[in-house]
Amino acid sequence: MNKGEWGKIKAFFDLETTEGFIVKGFKLVQGINGLFVGFPSQKGNDEEYYDTVWAEKDLREELSQLAIDYYGQEIMSTDNATENTSADSSEGSKGNTTAGVDTSDPITDDDIPF
């Protein structure tokens, strides 16, 4: 997950499925009702953005919750590093993937759809 401040966008991330598919270009967006996941999109000829990946409501909500939890975990771990040290060391190494989100491939400017 690549955190930052791009207007209402708080983070970009990619999703790797258990089958090995990688979907790039998800966004964590600050909306009026809190954080939500914006799916990959592309600008049309009318200058509007259109989603290029669709998911059913249940899957969309599950992905949003995973991303929000992971985003909150990162914020919490930098703010409260001393509180989480013992819990993190007991879990062992999980590699570069957390909650199905690939953290090894940072998003570049080429991945941003605008």
**The domain spanning residue 24 has which CATH number?**
3.30.1120.40
State residue 112's pLDDT score: 59
Q: What type of residue sits at position 29?
A: V
Q: Which residues of the chain have pLDDT under 70?
A: 74-114
State residue 95's pLDDT score: 42
State residue 88's pLDDT score: 44
State residue 25's pLDDT score: 93
State residue 92's pLDDT score: 41
CA distances from 73 to 20, 67, 68, 69 (A): 24, 10, 8, 6
**Structural domain of 55:** 2-111
Number of structural domains in the chain: 1
In this prediction the pTM is 0.60
Residues 6+ apart with CB under 8 A from 101: 1, 13, 14, 15, 16, 66, 67, 70
